Amino acid sequence: MNATAIPTRRLGRNGPAVSALGLGCMGMSFAYGDADEGESLATLDRALELGVTLFDTADMYGPYTNERLLGKALQGRREQVFLATKFGIVFDPDRPELRGINGRPEYVRSSIEGSLQRLGTDHVDLYYLHRIDADVPIEDTVGAMAELVQQGKVRYLGLSEPSAQTLQRAHAVHPITAVQSEYSLWTRDPEHNDVLATCERLGIGFVPYSPLGRGFLTGNITSPDELQSDDFRLSTPRFQGDNFARNLELAGQVKRLASDQGCTPAQLALAWVLAQGEHIVPIPGTKRRKYLEDNLGALQVVLSPDELTALDTVFRPEAVAGDRYTAVGMALIGR
């Protein structure tokens, strides 16, 4: 893929302009098998070369190693990037499988300092609360985040996986620039829980993570046995047993429709997400240059109304088998 100008989209009605496709960096350090720092750095370099500006990470990815990776990659090039990171998910260092949520104001203030140090920067462009803390009023958490804006440590604020009601309460304290939630052909929750509509009504940008169904919609995964034993996806219901087999049939439909369109399955799936609204900026994740370039090809794919309807029909919510997280993970979303 040659370097070409990537179109931009605005994060919300009055928000910043960023590349229409961003880059989710989690898999470079966390959750999806072995890390390859050399290839990850090369992928980040290639993304910059091709004009990607929105880079997304979080302190929990690793934990901490993904922020350090981006800090290394962006030395001397920080001004080229709209840098987003997240805080709020905490680990027990002795039992990393146990996660908690911390939205207390004092934790907000301490978390940003760690992220800035690891990222090698004096400010973060977009700072998300990664999950809502049910024990802390959202007004208190966002109030502390707003202090970071006043101090120049953060430019814009975001929430990840909030309910529509929580989003409205947060936005009343300080403008929320972006909401990040899982959204793809096989995860349509934001359409049905009023989050997408609330973002559009309030002029807030919407940033879908896992817009390729954690790689499932690319057609490159045909058996759970292809994933490494420590791959996070193996613990999720959609990648297990009969659910996997049923969902594989859906991925086959994407492959067939992509062939008719003359594009790859990944490009078709991303083109569908992009077509859902101009305020939507997906952040497909990858740790390899070839997939980065393939994903960016989605920006050249235009789906007709009939093609969009066909995809909607195939991926009606009841067609997808299994929850996207374990019961513990599901309890942390939509608060």
* Predicted confidence pLDDT, tens digits, the chain (335 residues): 554 579 999 999 989 999 999 999 999 988 777 778 999 999 999 999 999 999 999 999 989 999 999 999 999 999 999 999 999 999 766 655 557 999 999 999 999 999 999 999 999 999 999 999 999 999 999 999 999 999 999 999 999 999 999 999 999 999 999 999 999 999 999 999 999 999 999 999 999 999 999 988 998 888 888 888 888 788 889 999 999 999 999 999 999 999 999 999 999 999 999 999 999 999 999 999 999 999 999 999 999 999 999 999 999 888 999 999 888 888 889 99
Could you tell me which residues are beta bridge partners of residue 90? 100
Query: Does residue 10 lie in a domain region?
Result: no
Choose among 68, 72, 62, 5: nearest CA to 29.
62
Instruction: Quote the pLDDT of residue 1.
Output: 52
Query: Does residue 1 lie in a domain region?
Result: no
Identify whether the C-beta of residue 167 lies closer than 8 Å to the C-beta of residue 195: yes
Query: Does residue 222 lie in a domain region?
Result: yes
Query: Does residue 12 lie in a domain region?
Result: no
Instruction: Quote the pLDDT of residue 24.
Output: 97
Query: Does residue 83 lie in a domain region?
Result: yes
CA dihedral 261, 219, 241, 190 (to 10 degrees): -60
Q: Is 246 exposed, middle or buried (0-12, 13-18, 19+ CB in 10 A)?
A: middle
For the chain, how many structural domains are there in total?
1
3-state secondary structure of 140: helix
Distance CA 224, CA 242 (A): 11
Q: Please list the active-site residues.
A: 61
Distance CA 304, CA 301 (A): 10
Query: Does residue 2 lie in a domain region?
Result: no
CATH number of the domain residue 72 falls in = 3.20.20.100
Q: What is the CA radius of gyration of the chain?
A: 19
Distance CA 222, CA 265 (A): 14
Instruction: Quote the pLDDT of residue 70.
Output: 97
Instruction: Quote the pLDDT of residue 4.
Output: 55
Instruction: Quote the pLDDT of residue 127.
Output: 98
Query: Does residue 129 lie in a domain region?
Result: yes
Residue type, 203: G
3-state secondary structure of 180: strand
Q: Are strands 95-101 and 89-92 parallel, antiparallel or unpaired?
A: antiparallel
Encode 280-309: b = buried (16+ Cβ within 10 Å), e = exposed: bbbbbbbbbbebbbbbbbbbebebeeebee
Could you tell me which residues are beta bridge partners of residue 144? none
Distance CA 204, CA 179 (A): 7
The DSSP code sequence of 43-71 is: HHHHHHHHT--EEE--TTTTTTHHHHHHH
Specify the residue for token string 């997240």: 86
Identify whether the C-beta of residue 185 lies closer than 8 Å to the C-beta of residue 210: no
Instruction: Quote the pLDDT of residue 229.
Output: 83
Range of the domain at 286: 17-330
Query: Does residue 9 lie in a domain region?
Result: no
